[in-house]
Structure 1
Amino acid sequence: MIDELIERLRKGDRKAVARLITLVENDEEKAREIVRKIYPLTGNAYIVGITGPPGAGKSSLLDKLIREARKEGLIVGVIAVDPTSPFTGGALLGDRIRMQGHATDPGVFIRSMATRGSLGGLAKATNDAIKVLDAYGCDIIFVETVGVGQVEVDIVKTADTVVLVTIPGLGDDVQAIKAGLMEIADIFVINKADREGVDATYFELSLTLDFEAEKWEKLGWRPPIIETIATTGKGVKELWEKIKEHKKYLESSGRLEEKRRFRIEEEIKTIASGIIASKVEASIKKGELEDLIREVLAKRIDPYTAADRIIREVM
């Protein structure tokens, strides 16, 4: 079945793409087989992460960015990572609703994915879904994170360019942004720029960037701050140009290869950690570690010693 789906994917069958993403999302064993078989077809898509706090207008902005990409004839993939429904386990908000204008465009593939408990703003299967869209032939893949504030830093392990979207009037939330996401953003966007307080937000972000002036000079890229109004399209063209400009910077400076090497390293570590964790969990469920747990409970050994023994067992 998987071989047939991959063959259909290579021929541009959108239904096969959807089915393969469902498999990598729901079946870990099949996900491994799929990634193993499509991996030689990947590596051509450029990945842009759209992140930021809830209510910043990420989906509306993304809708307009898709239009800019399509004007240039690019094949676009979108993964919108949503909170998990407590009833179905599926994506709760369905950000595709805001992008429904692209539903009939064969050059755009949009998929919502549920976080399923992942705290980094991304679903566990996001990287595998990106590979499916890459193998399908997407030129650019947008990944919109769930919108949970400063823990969304996982996007840096996935995207080539990270766009941080904020809005005027966040108050203390700007401090949270500076504490976490400021470190990973390549481009800053102040959306809903027709609101009161836009100048103050611009000043705060500029001031924070000024503190790192030496770092930006060394890197050769200072993150720009762009004001947009997603509902009217104001500033979207400028944002799209900055995304392309950042791509050129990464390519010319050799930073794109560095970023992708870092991503591969992080992905391997994540997969390896997951494999070990699942083996430990399986051993606990079988009761194989019961004696060890009792020893820790009786204070005969400490948890670190127990963990070392478990690792030796599962390895």
Structure 2
Amino acid sequence: MTASTLIDRYHARDPRALARALTLVENDAAGSADVLRAARAAPHRPPVVGVTGSPGSGKSTLVSALIAHLRAAGDTVAVLAVDPSSPFSGGAILGDRIRMLRHHADPGVYVRSIASRGALGGLSARTLQALSVLEGFAFDWIFIETVGVGQSEVDIAAVADHTVLVLTPGGGDGVQAFKAGIMEIADVMVVNKSDLPGADRVVRELRAAQGLVTSHGPDDWFAPVVKARADQQEGIEGVLNAIRAHRAHLGEAGLHARRHERARFELRAALQDRAGRLVAGAGADLIDRLARGDLSADQAAAELLQ
């Protein structure tokens, strides 16, 4: 299939063309630049919601519940699930068929797993390009679910229009979020599994902690804390309303600024990816000289860049 044919079918909203386009950009294959250009020229810009939090907090369950709620209203939804990379194959350890199986037969839902490829923070340049392809396909909503470890929680704020931080009672998540600085990047905080003991205490702690780290000027956003039971579809409308309120707060100027920040992040990720390939291809002689102390790391990097 030629690139022009693929783009025509992509614009016609052919799901198979979407899958092919995503594969092209993820692998940086021939024709991927043309596909990206066509996707980014599309006028439609749906809300992009990043969902992050610690492993076991119920991120996938919450996304599944959000999908069900939005589909009941007639909206189409895409999910980009960023999975840890296999150290052997480089591919995603978790597959999109494992996640959110209840929606697999719904033509209005598209779920795609993408490997983090060992990127710092868990989000690679390929993640951003795959996101652009999904945006150009004119879904009504796009969700990005991160691996929920390391720095990915902070990085998602540079990628998504709205960042949802999922926490649970009883695990010290609220305190850890405060200590790690994650709370500062959250636009909406969801206390999931709110039927567990301590849920109300976590809500109070989060609201109190925000008062310590967030200024309260007339233009500042105070991230709402929403209780939910995603497995029971409870609190889901409240989560969506909080996201919509944040979108209204940002306005066109705020959304434009976030898209520019995303482009900056993509450039940084692409440079990190290229640097990683340079290091992987470094000759044994250069590595030996560095190990012996004949070169500093800065000098070795300068040689590689030359």
What amino acid is the match of 1:137?
Answer: A
Kindly provide the CA deviation profile for residues 31-84 of structure 1, in whole angstroms up to 9, marking residues without a partner as x: 444323433126612200000001111111111111232234322111112233
Segments of 4+ moved more than 6 angstroms: none
Structure 2 gaps of 5+ residues are: none
Q: Distance in 2 between matches of 1:105 and 1:195?
A: 32
Offset at residue 154 of structure 1 (A): 1.4
206 and 33 in structure 1: CA distance in 2 versus 1, 3 angstrom threshold? same
Contact 2:39/2:137 (CA < 8 Å) preserved in 1?
no
What amino acid is the match of 1:308?
Answer: A
93-102 or 257-266, which deviates more? 93-102
Q: Distance in 1 between matches of 2:98 and 2:293?
A: 55
> Structure 1 length as normaliser, TM-score?
0.85
299 and 50 in structure 1: CA distance in 2 versus 1, 3 angstrom threshold? closer
1:248 paired to 2:242 = no
Name the residue aligned to 1:228: 228
What aligned pairs does 1:156-305 form with structure 2 within 5 A after superposition? 156-171=157-172, 173-178=173-178, 179-214=180-215, 216-217=216-217, 219-251=219-251, 254-279=253-278, 281-282=280-281, 284-285=282-283, 290=285, 296=290, 299=293, 301-305=295-299
What aligned pairs does 1:23-102 form with structure 2 within 5 A after superposition? 23-27=24-28, 30-41=31-42, 44-85=45-86, 88-94=89-95, 96-102=97-103
238-247 or 78-87, which deviates more? 78-87
Q: Distance in 2 between matches of 1:4 and 1:310?
A: 39
117-126 or 100-109, which deviates more? 117-126
Contact 2:164/2:186 (CA < 8 Å) preserved in 1?
yes
Contact 2:159/2:261 (CA < 8 Å) preserved in 1?
no
What amino acid is the match of 1:108?
Answer: V
**SS of equivalent residue, structure 2 residue 232:** coil
Offset at residue 20 of structure 1 (A): 1.7
**SS of equivalent residue, structure 2 residue 166:** strand
Offset at residue 190 of structure 1 (A): 0.2
30-39 or 106-115, which deviates more? 30-39
What amino acid is the match of 2:233?
Answer: G
What amino acid is the match of 1:183?
Answer: E
What amino acid is the match of 1:121?
Answer: G
Q: Distance in 2 between matches of 1:207 and 1:28?
A: 49
297 and 56 in structure 1: CA distance in 2 versus 1, 3 angstrom threshold? closer
Structure 1 gaps of 5+ residues are: none
160-169 or 92-101, which deviates more? 92-101
Q: Distance in 1 between matches of 2:148 and 2:276?
A: 27
> Structure 2 length as normaliser, TM-score?
0.88
What amino acid is the match of 1:181?
Answer: I
What amino acid is the match of 1:264?
Answer: A
Q: Distance in 2 between matches of 1:165 and 1:35?
A: 31
Q: What percent of counterpart residues are identical?
A: 39
What amino acid is the match of 1:77?
Answer: A
What amino acid is the match of 2:221?
Answer: W
